[in-house]
Amino acid sequence: MEVLDQEQGGQTKSTEKHPAPRGVNIFAGVVLIVCGLVWLGSNYNILGPQVINTLFSWQMLLVVIGAWMLCTKNYIMGGAVTLLGVVLVVVDYFHIYISFERFVLPLLVVIAGVALLFIKAPKQ
């Protein structure tokens, strides 16, 4: 379907939606497969409650969001969010005590600084 754009001197402008990038479709498929396998493992008592609680936690949500950002080619922020999520999952799963004020906050500041160094300025 095409629409005439009056401001562009009568040139045609396509209004069809473009399909999602292949990486996003692969990511969504992998997430659904993993969720289904975890659900099956939970139903047949293959996976313990600690594994289920770890896989369905806010820390793992950070990992998933970071991985999605990586699939959409936002490598710097995606890598930072994924790395932060993985560290928090490991800390939670193995019950490691890390002081939020002494370790996590300074680490977040360093990650933000590195991200600012690598983010490209918008073109004018």
In a domain, 74, yes or no: yes
Tell me the residue ranges of DSSP E strands in 1-124. 2-5, 11-14
Of 95, 40, 86, 33, the residue nearest 64 (C-alpha): 86
Domain count for the chain, please give it.
1
Task: At 110, list the tokens.
Answer: 């360093």
Scanning the structure block, which residue is given the tokens 């473009």? 18
pLDDT digit string (tens) for the chain, length 124 residues: 455 545 555 555 555 566 666 777 888 899 899 989 998 998 999 988 888 888 889 999 999 999 999 988 888 888 888 988 998 888 888 988 888 788 878 988 988 888 788 877 777 6
Contacts of 68 (CB under 8 A, 6+ apart): 24, 27, 78
Q: Domain residues for 57?
A: 22-118
pTM for this prediction: 0.64
